[in-house]
Structure 1
Amino acid sequence: MSKVLMTVYNNFTHDSRVLKEANSLIDAGYDVEIVALLSGEVEPYEEMGKLKVHRVGINPVHLRFIKFLKDSKRDFAQLKRKMVNFYKKAIKSSNRIFKKILSIPKKFLSKINKFKGRILKKIVSIRRQLSVYTSKLEKSIISTLSCRHTEKYTIQVKDNKVTDVLRFIYCQFPVFQDKDNFVIKILKRTIRIIIKVCIYTPISIILLFILGITTINNALFYILAGILDIAFGTARFIIKLLGYFLKVIYEVLELVIVETLRLVANIVMSILRFPFSLLTNIINDNHEKSVIQKTDDRSKNDFTTLIINFLLKRHRLFCIFDFNKRIMQFCDNSSTTYDIVHSHDLNTLIFGYRYKKKYKTKLIYDSHELYLERNRFDSYSLLGKKIRVMVERKMIRKCDDVITVNVSIADYLADIYKVPVPKVIMNIPSAKEPVKRDESFSIRKQLSIPDDKMILLYSGAITFNRGIDKVIMSLKYNEDIHMVCMGYGADKFKDDLVNTAKESGVIDRFHFFGPVPGNQVTSYAASADIGVAPIENVCLSYYFCSPNKLFEYLLAGLPVITSNFPEMSRLVDEFGIGLTFDPSSPEDIARTIKEALVSEEIRSNVISKTREVISKYCWENEEKKLINMYEVL
């Protein structure tokens, strides 16, 4: 026997779809347990025949933190000042750090420029010395060659061998002794050229060493100085070229580095500003008092109150996460390992995804509606909705099977998340004979509505955007009609509807009744004259809805008028059992009510085709599809 775990985010007291699915699976031989939310006056554990219901309580982290805030005696105004001071100090420190980082390239370039300046000065100094040494050498040689000696020169080997050799040559050849001799001039010029060539050529070094000259006066220094002059000249050119490229590279790097650092600085500044901005936004944000938990603090600007309101605005999200965590803890502590997990709606799919990943079980996602396109007090932010869509897309693709309540929602899910078209298992009542009127279940009698007045019945949840206010407004166009709202709803919404009735002048023809037990809904509905489902087009989930109340009206033998939306229009038009209207127009609603009440064709279709509708749209047919799906798994 396969073990099935169903999860639902409510206390499982009015969820007819989950109950029908669980009982159908039990009848098919499955062992079914349900984990629901422990809220209200319900028991943590309950057995409904073979069905076991476990309810887990939640204690989300934000409520624990709020309790800490209220119980704590800390001065949160002081904490706020500390946060602001910390933010200011962090900004100053970051500014100093960024200035130091930006100054590094400038310091580096400055050092390069200084080093380049010192090199250039050294090169200029060496060049000057070289020119002086070259001039001195030339004069020394010429003066040596021009000297006159009457006596025969005898070579005496001394330290200055260069001078001795030149003097010996000069004295042995008298032709050199004539100053004005043309040959002497030529030789002098030749000597000058040779000296210059030898200074800039290393051959002179080899010649001098071949002659065995060990002491060459200052000639070797002059030669080396010439070589250094060439080297430093080349070095100077290279340094100038390198300096030019360094300057270009520096300008490019400076642009890149500065812009990068500015970008990093902006990011860091934004991160550092976040706590302060968050604090400022919280301070400037005027939140409405939460219907979940009201605070009675000293001032609206009290820091503790602002934090509490900020957290309570996200109350449902925190509760859903905590509920899924506690279901996981419940399963981890249980000795039972489930073969199939059936998650009802996205708010319990998080647990199903984690359980499948951990225990390698089968996972079914049962989407009762378009969860991310529901009727809400405040819509999701753009980023918040994007994240939720990504989460649902990731988890729905990991499911072994997906089911939903009608064709329109199935096609939408398949198109948005690129998954196979989910199976359609409608939320409709079981097949049974149409209910006959019973005076013990008479709304007219219990509300003392005259027999000559028609009763327009709205059955279901009394909440916002259900179009009830527009139907109330339409009563002023139909004076023979009383409207009855049968169901449960918050006092706030009921008070708003009463005010609408007073403003429209129809308060004497507007009534609340019930709520009544689920098995008595159709019995009471049979005492009305017409049923209405005035859903407003405020979200895709409402636009694609196929409410259970339509089939309850049919079982009660009532003509149906409903909003002109795809799924509801399909049912009404297929069997001719009612009419559709524009839910935003009280005039169109009033016209449709009159037409439906006087139409003999509609009344005859309701009487003659009710059984046909019931035989086609009944839970017994949907049950077969559910069982077949489980058997394939």
Structure 2
Amino acid sequence: MKKKNKVFVAVTNDISTDYRVHKICSYLIKLGFDVVVYGRVLPNTITVKRAYTIIRKKHFFNNNFLFYAEYNIRLFFYILFRKFNYIVSNDLDTLPACFFTSKLKNIDLVYDSHELFSEGPELQGRAFVQNFWRKLEDFFLPRIKKSYTVSQSIADFYDKKYQNKMGVIKNVPLKNAYSNLKEVKFPTDKRTILYQGVLNPGRGIKPMIKALKYIDNLDLVIIGYGKVEQELRMFVAKEKMDERVHFLGRIDRGKLINYTKLATLGMVLEEPLGLSFTYSLPNKLFDFIHAEIPIIAGNMPEISRIINEYKVGVTVEDYSPEKIASKINEVLNDAALLSSIKKHQQETKEILCWEIESKKLDNYFK
């Protein structure tokens, strides 16, 4: 019996919540590959069962330069002494080890850029650190033959800089993602606007909290975890909005869809903190489309392109609480607009779905 080709997938984030990596690995399994995903042990991680092998390593260091150094050294030697036919590097922080082992062992390398890494919001104002990541991009990206990213704006940015013809594979859900739902409840009987995702700076959550003061009968539900969670909780207390903002914490992807479908509106109010956010195409944008939840979005190029082309929501002029509230009230008070948005979402999810998008992977894996 012929042995299956093996694909090695490297990530530094939490495997249990990275839906993009899961979908790609599942597609590769469907194509007949054996898949091994290599990540790390993180606090409060969720144990998951997958059709592919998951390797999680506990690190001595979990932050800053020492983590990236330790991770890549350990990753390098892990790949070096094992046989794979493909290496998939997810984001720049996994690339050094993946690149050099692929060269040493003559293995096909595929690079998946989830964001414009060197222009992320956490690097703004940190010139030395940002320059370090830019130098890594300058060295590696022109030398990689197979690469793709999540939005056309990021692909265009890299192509203009490196002439590397990066492809685009959007992070869209499966068509049936929102079928067979289970009954769940929000901790409020009011209409709701939902934020789901990582709780990091620049997600528009604070302006949304303030905007609630100008909107009747609408609460904010926040699902996720991250570095600013405690700061947001303190902000809610300071604004005296404890009864209108509800933190549900971290919810497994398989259960999250049940909560997404419950919301009245979905918020995608990423702020332009660096080009990575400006060019982003967040997962939740497509989640809200598939859940048929009208979207309130920031006016950023990739996000507004989807909103305007497919008519699946509205964009705000700026991030002032008053303007956000005005747009939300406008939508909530227009039954015809809400109906139209939901109709367009039903049509759009047949187009922007993983069944169609995943076929682009055939260009990278034979």
Note the C-alpha offset of 1:407: 0.5
Note the C-alpha offset of 1:555: 2.4
Aligned twin of 2:168: 424
Describe the superposition over 1:118-159 as per-residue Cα deviations: whole angstroms up to 9, x where unpaired. xxxxxxxxxxxxxxxxxxxxxxxxxxxxxxxxxxxxxxxxxx
Aligned twin of 1:609: 344
Aligned twin of 2:136: 391
Note the C-alpha offset of 1:577: 1.9
Aligned twin of 1:354: 100
Q: Distance in 1 between matches of 2:21 and 2:179?
A: 24
Aligned twin of 2:205: 468
2:151 to 386, 402, 406: 406
Note the C-alpha offset of 1:433: 6.9
Describe the superposition over 1:454-490 as per-residue Cα deviations: whole angstroms up to 9, x where unpaired. 2111111222221100001111111322111122234
Describe the superposition over 1:406-430 as per-residue Cα deviations: whole angstroms up to 9, x where unpaired. 111100111122322x110111111
The letter of the residue matching 1:599 is: D
Q: Distance in 1 between matches of 2:343 and 2:50?
A: 37
Aligned twin of 1:7: 10
Q: Distance in 1 between matches of 2:133 and 2:250?
A: 34
Aligned twin of 1:27: 30
Q: Distance in 1 between matches of 2:255 and 2:293?
A: 15
1:324 to 72, 86, 90: 72
Q: Distance in 1 between matches of 2:178 and 2:80?
A: 47
Describe the superposition over 1:309-365 as per-residue Cα deviations: whole angstroms up to 9, x where unpaired. xxxxxx42221121111011122333xx21211100000110111112211111111
How has the CA–CA distance of structure 1 residues 389 and 504 changed in structure 2, closer, same or farther, with 3 Å as cutoff?
same
The letter of the residue matching 1:546 is: L
How has the CA–CA distance of structure 1 residues 595 and 629 changed in structure 2, closer, same or farther, with 3 Å as cutoff?
same
Note the C-alpha offset of 1:47: 6.7
Aligned twin of 1:55: 56
How has the CA–CA distance of structure 1 residues 55 and 565 changed in structure 2, closer, same or farther, with 3 Å as cutoff?
same
- Segments of 5+ residues of structure 1 without an aligned counterpart are 61-291, 293-314
How has the CA–CA distance of structure 1 residues 532 and 518 changed in structure 2, closer, same or farther, with 3 Å as cutoff?
same
CA contact (8 A) 2:294 2:342 kept: no
The alignment status of 1:483 with 2:220, answered yes or no, reads yes
Aligned twin of 1:441: 184
Q: Distance in 1 between matches of 2:43 and 2:218?
A: 37
Q: Distance in 2 between matches of 1:21 and 1:512?
A: 30
What are the within-5 Å matches in structure 2 for residues 116-515 of structure 1?
A: 315-334=63-82, 337-376=83-122, 379-381=125-127, 383-420=128-165, 422-432=166-176, 440-443=183-186, 447=187, 449-450=188-189, 453-490=190-227, 493-515=228-250
The alignment status of 1:573 with 2:319, answered yes or no, reads no
The letter of the residue matching 2:50 is: M
The letter of the residue matching 2:199 is: I
Q: Distance in 1 between matches of 2:44 and 2:232?
A: 28
How has the CA–CA distance of structure 1 residues 34 and 466 changed in structure 2, closer, same or farther, with 3 Å as cutoff?
same
Q: Distance in 2 between matches of 1:468 and 1:380?
A: 23
Q: Distance in 1 between matches of 2:111 and 2:270?
A: 26
Note the C-alpha offset of 1:10: 2.4
The letter of the residue matching 2:277 is: Y
Describe the superposition over 1:146-190 as per-residue Cα deviations: whole angstroms up to 9, x where unpaired. xxxxxxxxxxxxxxxxxxxxxxxxxxxxxxxxxxxxxxxxxxxxx
Give the match's secondary structure for 2:159: helix
Aligned twin of 1:618: 353
Query: Is the deviation greater in 508-517 or in 561-570?
Result: 508-517
Identity percentage of aligned residues: 28
Give the match's secondary structure for 2:37: strand
Q: Distance in 2 between matches of 1:437 and 1:552?
A: 14
Q: Distance in 1 between matches of 2:321 and 2:90?
A: 36
The letter of the residue matching 2:194 is: L
CA contact (8 A) 2:199 2:224 kept: yes
CA contact (8 A) 1:43 1:55 kept: no
Q: Distance in 1 between matches of 2:16 and 2:290?
A: 23
Alignment: residue pair count = 363
The letter of the residue matching 1:406 is: S
1:585 to 309, 320, 323: 320
The letter of the residue matching 2:362 is: I
Q: Distance in 1 between matches of 2:29 and 2:179?
A: 28
Which is helix-richer, 1 or 2? Answer: 1
The letter of the residue matching 2:162 is: Y
Aligned twin of 1:553: 288
Q: Distance in 2 between matches of 1:619 and 1:460?
A: 19
CA contact (8 A) 2:266 2:294 kept: yes
Give the match's secondary structure for 1:617: coil
The letter of the residue matching 1:545 is: S
The letter of the residue matching 2:113 is: S
Q: Distance in 1 between matches of 2:49 and 2:267?
A: 36
Q: Distance in 1 between matches of 2:301 and 2:184?
A: 33
Cα RMSD (Å): 2.3
Q: Computing the radius of gyration over CA atoms, which structure comes out larger, 1 or 2?
A: 1
CA contact (8 A) 1:4 1:339 kept: yes
Note the C-alpha offset of 1:436: 8.7
Q: Distance in 2 between matches of 1:485 and 1:506?
A: 13
The letter of the residue matching 2:97 is: F
